[in-house]
């Protein structure tokens, strides 16, 4: 079983990519996908032996994507709503 803290760390590091990008333009779903592909996916693959099942692997992926979507909304609000 993968520790939740490991998944939180992956989210944190992928969010750093998004935090840099949001300065240029509002983040989109494509930005989330790119951050996942560039940072989270390779780390999940390295943790593959820690997953007990394919379901657990999908749940970890879904958790990361959900957290990245939440952070994207927050980053967009912080960066772009103040300038409107």
Element (H, E) at 58: helix 54-76
**What are the extents of the domains in the chain?**
4-78
Backbone φ and ψ of 22, nearest 5°: -65, -20
- What is the pTM for the complete model shown? 0.89
Q: Are the C-beta atoms of 82 and 37 separated by less than 8 Å?
A: no
Reported as a single tens digit per residue, the pLDDT across 17-56 is: 999 999 999 999 999 999 999 999 999 999 988 899 999 9
What CA–CA distance (Å, rounded) separates 22 from 34?
13
Is the pLDDT score of 84 beyond 80? no
Most distant CA pair in the chain, distance: 47
Give Cβ neighbours of residue 37 (< 8 Å, ≥ 6 apart): none
């Amino acid at each position: 079983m993968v520790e939740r803290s490991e998944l939180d760390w992956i989210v944190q590091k992928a969010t750093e990519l998004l935090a840099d990008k949001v300065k240029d333009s509002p983040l989109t779903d494509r930005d989330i996908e790119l951050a996942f592909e560039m940072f989270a996916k390779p780390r999940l693959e390295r943790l593959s032996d820690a997953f007990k099942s394919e379901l657990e692997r999908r749940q970890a992926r879904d958790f990361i994507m959900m957290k990245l979507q939440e952070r994207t909304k927050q980053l967009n609000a912080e960066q772009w709503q103040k300038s409107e």
